[in-house]
Amino acid sequence: MITASRTGEVLGATRDEFDVDAATWRIAGSRMKAGEEHVVYLSPPALAIVRQQLDNPSNLSHWLFPSPVGDG
């Protein structure tokens, strides 16, 4: 909700899609409904959540929000 993105886009977010220095999230066109790359400019609260996930030592997953049951 904080990024106005679809649930599937958020749950499928990978660590490499984020540029915290530029405060952006680049979603590949292959993951977008319209088929075109989409850039989300992250607000300070959204960026804080992304940083927390990226800096979390227990999150060694490729995914930004890994499943608590498994990495898939």
Query: Residue 53 has what pLDDT?
Result: 93
Residue 69 included in any domain: no
Provide DSSP, 31-43: GSTTSS-EEEEPP
Residue 17 lies in a domain: yes
CA distance 42 to 59: 21
Q: Chain centroid to CA 35: how far?
A: 17
In a domain, 65, yes or no: no
Which residue range forms the structural domain that includes residue 44? 7-55
Residue 66 domain flag? no
Please check whether residue 34 lies inside any domain of the structure.
yes
What are the pLDDT digits (tens) for 18-59?
999 999 999 999 988 888 999 999 999 999 999 999 998 887
Tally of structural domains, the chain: 1
Residue 72 lies in a domain: no
Whole-model pTM?
Answer: 0.82
* Residue 71 pLDDT grade (very low, low, confident, very high; cuts 50, 70, 90): low
Contacts of residue 31, Cβ cutoff 8 Å, sequence gap at least 6: 8, 9, 12
Q: How far apart are CA 25 and CA 40, in angstroms?
A: 5
